[in-house]
Amino acid sequence: MGHDHDETTSHDEAGHSHGEHEHGEHDHDHGEHEHDSGHDDHSHGEHTNDDHHAHDAEGVKIGVLTVSTSRTLDDDPAGDIIATACEDAGHEIAERRLVADEVDAIEDAVAALLDDGVDVVLTTGGTGLTPDDVTVDAIQPLFDRPVPGFGELFRWLSYEEVGPMAMASRATAGVVDDRLVFCLPGSENAARTGAEKLVAPAVGHLLGLVRR
């Protein structure tokens, strides 16, 4: 499975008091003048968290693609972890596939999943630096737009656990047409970090933004 070496990770106002300023008999007592600015509790009306997520996609259909020459769909722990994390967050696992570490096979599998109507593709495996880690090389050219924040956050979470070796990860994501593709490492801990902490909780919102 593209050797994702060194990618394993266990991953995750001040009030102005006017005092009493008594100038002689002119006691500037602000008393009942409470300076009500009309912004009680800093409420901004329509700018609520609910509105921020008003366009979130629901019922997201996800395809999981495992890139490996040593796994099978019956023996795919990283793929199982990704599928469980997404289902626990309310998403649907529409399809799972497994291909070898070959650029053409990976490209064809991603295209097939998108043709089958999934909203999101999550790949696992092949995101490291060894010569047979070719998943990113196969998928990045398909991106209409990259989503750099995913890889940045993933490597930050990895750094919390494994230190500078997190640099070895090329985990990435991007927009293909109006869908999203995420490339996760093949190690179980790293797949869990990417799926549970990043993709599953945010993919509905990201997809909603892409399709607005």
What would the pLDDT profile of 66-118 be if each residue is shown by its tens digit?
999 999 999 999 999 999 999 999 999 999 999 999 999 999 999 999 999 99
Give me the phi and psi of 27, to 5 degrees please: -80, 105
Q: Which domains occur in the chain, in start order?
A: 59-210 (3.40.980.10)
Encode pLDDT of 7-53 as tens digits.
433 333 444 444 444 444 444 444 444 444 444 444 444 445 556 66
Q: What is the rounded CA–CA span in Å between residue 66 and residue 207?
A: 22
- Mean pLDDT, the chain, rounded, equals 84
Identify the pLDDT of residue 11.
Answer: 39
Return the pLDDT at 192. 97
- The answer to whether the pTM exceeds 0.85 is no
